[in-house]
């Protein structure tokens, strides 16, 4: 179905893999469009509860495709950036959780792609960076915005201005990734996190994601009002009744996504 990706669902987990290992999974226009379509499929797939996004081979995504970008004029560059933003924004706001399994290089557009996910878990061999200024351009798929929100304005400026590439441990220290594991533990760890999330009430997880994403840039008063509204919405589900009953009855809940 996809030329540059692999999409499969197993035991409630959607595995979305970028498959351009000969180009270190670089993002060209085709990959960007197919990522959008794959996450739309995930969003609509009732059998998929959590997505794990990764790259084939030794790279997560090594960046945008420089060969494609090199000949762009200003208008073409803006259209390319718009396509990237459309996909990254969609991934960030898809209704279900997305975990980035960062197995290698996550540079430029690859770092931006990982930042569009809810949770980043990295192999100890992973490398992160926004090296665009070394090529005479700037991050164009959300890097100037999401990086500062994750690691703070000063650190984001440092990484973008210097184009420094950092290892997984440093990425964890500054808050760019949530967990660092050995390479052979990467996918099992991501799957364990996905299964933990899937053991919780799906509607509540989705409502929490919506509240976090939409409240993040609000003032505290508006964000508090949003949380109050979303808290009330969570009480309209059958899963709320099941979860509270199970707690009071000292048993494991059986959520039905209703």
pLDDT at residue number 1: 85
pLDDT at residue number 147: 98
Fold adopted by 5-198: 2-enoyl-CoA Hydratase; Chain A, domain 1 (3.90.226)
Task: State the SS3 of 158-217.
Answer: HHHHHCCCEEHHHHHHHCCCCEEECHHHHHHHHHHHHHHHHCCCHHHHHHHHHHHHHHCC
pLDDT at residue number 24: 94
Catalytic residues: 112, 132
* Tens digit of each residue's pLDDT, the chain (258 residues): 899 999 999 999 999 999 999 999 999 999 999 999 999 999 999 999 999 999 999 999 998 888 898 889 999 999 999 999 999 999 999 999 999 999 999 999 999 999 999 999 999 999 999 999 999 999 999 999 999 999 999 999 999 999 999 999 999 999 999 999 999 999 999 999 999 999 998 889 999 999 999 999 899 999 999 999 998 988 888 888 777 887 888 888 888 777
Question: Who's near 46: CB < 8 A, 6+ residues apart?
Answer: none
Phi, psi of 246 (to 5 degrees): -60, -40
| Segments of the chain assigned to CATH 1.10.12.10 | 202-248
pLDDT at residue number 181: 98
| Segments of the chain assigned to CATH 3.90.226.10 | 5-198
Structural class in CATH, domain 202-248 = mainly alpha
């Amino acid at each position: 179905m996809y030329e540059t990706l692999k999409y499969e669902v197993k035991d409630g987990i959607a595995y979305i893999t970028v498959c351009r290992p000969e180009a270190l999974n670089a993002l060209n226009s085709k990959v960007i469009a197919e990522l959008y379509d794959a996450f739309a499929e995930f969003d609509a797939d009732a059998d998929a509860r959590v997505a794990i996004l990764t790259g084939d081979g030794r790279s997560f995504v090594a960046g945008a495709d420089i060969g494609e970008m090199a000949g762009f004029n200003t208008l073409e560059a803006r259209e390319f950036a718009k396509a990237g933003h459309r996909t990254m924004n969609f991934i960030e706001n898809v209704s279900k959780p997305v975990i980035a399994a960062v197995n290698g290089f996550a540079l430029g557009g690859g770092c931006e792609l990982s930042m569009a996910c809810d949770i980043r878990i990295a192999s100890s061999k992973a490398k992160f960076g926004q090296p665009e200024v070394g090529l005479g351009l700037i991050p164009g798929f959300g890097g100037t915005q999401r990086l500062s929100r994750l690691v703070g304005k000063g650190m984001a400026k440092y990484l973008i201005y210097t184009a420094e590439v950092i290892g997984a441990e440093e990425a964890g220290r500054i808050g760019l990734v949530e967990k660092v594991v050995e390479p052979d533990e990467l996918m099992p760890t991501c799957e364990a996190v996905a299964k933990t999330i899937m053991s919780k009430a799906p509607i509540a997880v989705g409502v929490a994601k919506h509240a976090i994403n939409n409240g993040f840039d609000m003032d505290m008063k508006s964000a508090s009002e949003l949380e109050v509204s979303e808290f009330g919405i969570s009480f309209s589900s059958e899963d709320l009744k099941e979860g509270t009953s199970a707690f009071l009855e000292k048993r494991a809940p059986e959520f039905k996504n209703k």
